């Protein structure tokens, strides 16, 4: 009986040796690949956390420099963040802060440069949209209408689509294109919720162009109600 078990175990051992000889390297390399990927993932997570932590410290430095009115320090900190932590949201937030600070001081070119960096480099659609909207405003002030409209071309995130339409309306009004401007303002008005105070401003702009959006909405509601009754 013992010999029978020994023979059976020997056969299993031989089969295992044969299997390992045929597939051992493949299994080993596959295991190494999996463990390496896991190590890389952990390393990347650590790198991201480390980057975010360092970027947060520098962002605080930007805020302190802004409070003290030291724009030179703001620029140094922001430049450092662009070089070292450009992929973090802190760098993009710092860009928006720097742009506003320079604009408030009348340095439009520096403000535009900071906004352009955020618009082109940000991986966050929200920050990118804010930068483009503000850039369009700067270009509108400079009467660079085509450039301003270019900033507002393409798709915007849902939360910013109405604001982009409103800004396009402003630019078109400045160009004397009232019909096109009205269409953009109407998009903005319909895209903003009734409780949003900014909607009142868009309504005023439409009123100035001879449009009463509240009357139009009442007509649409009446038409929808009549259609429902007829059915």
Q: What is the pLDDT of residues 151-198, one digit of tens each?
A: 999 889 998 999 999 999 999 999 999 999 999 999 999 998 988 888
Half-sphere exposure of 49 (CA within 13 A, CB side): 6
Position 161 scores a pLDDT of 94
pTM listed for this prediction: 0.71
pLDDT tops 80 at residue 85 = yes
Q: What is the pLDDT of residue 12?
A: 60
What CA–CA distance (Å, rounded) separates 231 from 227? Answer: 6
Helix locations, the chain, DSSP H? 2-68, 71-85, 89-104, 108-121, 125-141, 145-151, 158-174, 178-191, 198-208, 213-230
Residues in Cβ contact with 205 at an 8 Å cutoff, skipping those fewer than 6 apart: 166, 169, 170, 173, 185
Tens of pLDDT, residue by residue over 116-160, are: 999 998 888 998 999 999 999 999 999 999 999 999 998 899 989
Domain-wise residue ranges, the chain? 53-152, 155-231
pLDDT of the residue at 68: 86
Place of tokens 């450092």: 80
Buried b (16+ CB within 10 A) or exposed e, 151-178: bbeeebeeebbbbbbbbbbbbbbeeeee
pLDDT at 231 over 80: no
Q: Which tokens hold the place of 229? A: 């009754």
pLDDT at residue 117 in the model? 95
Contact 98, 128 (CB under 8 A): no
State yes or no: pLDDT of 115 exceeds 90: yes
Tokens of 96: 């928006």
Q: Is the pLDDT confidence value at 223 over 50?
A: no
At 22-58, the pLDDT tens digits run 655 555 555 545 544 444 434 434 445 666 677 787 8
pLDDT of residue 11: 62
The residue assigned the tokens 């930007």 is 62
| Contact (Cβ atoms closer than 8 angstroms) between residue 147 and residue 139 | yes
Tokens linked to 66: 């802004």
Residue partners of 165: CB distance under 8 A and separation at least 6: 184, 185, 187, 188, 191
The reply to whether CATH 1.25.40.10 applies to domain 53-152 is yes
Query: Would you say how long the chain is, in residues?
Result: 231
């Amino acid at each position: 009986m013992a010999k029978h078990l020994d023979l059976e175990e020997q056969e299993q051992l031989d089969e295992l040796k044969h299997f390992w000889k045929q597939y051992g390297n493949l299994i080993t390399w596959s295991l190494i690949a999996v463990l390496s990927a896991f190590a890389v993932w952990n390393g990347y997570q650590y790198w991201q956390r480390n980057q975010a932590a360092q970027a947060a410290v520098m962002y605080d430095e930007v805020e302190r420099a802004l409070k003290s009115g030291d724009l030179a320090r703001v620029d140094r900190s922001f430049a450092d963040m662009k070089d070292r932590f450009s992929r973090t949201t802190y760098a993009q937030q710092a860009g928006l802060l720097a742009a506003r600070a320079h604009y408030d001081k009348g340095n439009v070119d520096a403000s535009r440069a900071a906004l352009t960096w955020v618009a082109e480099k940000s991986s966050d659609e929200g920050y990118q949209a804010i930068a483009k909207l503000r850039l369009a405003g700067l270009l509108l002030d400079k009467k660079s209408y085509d450039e301003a409209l270019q900033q507002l071309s393409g798709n915007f995130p849902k939360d910013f689509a109405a604001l982009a339409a409103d800004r396009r309306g402003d630019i078109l009004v400045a160009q004397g294109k009232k019909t096109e401007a009205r269409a953009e303002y109407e998009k903005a008005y319909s895209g903003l919720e009734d409780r949003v105070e900014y909607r009142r401003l868009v309504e005023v702009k439409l009123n100035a162009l001879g449009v009463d959006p509240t009357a139009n909405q009442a007509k649409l509601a009446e038409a929808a109600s009549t259609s429902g009754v007829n059915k």
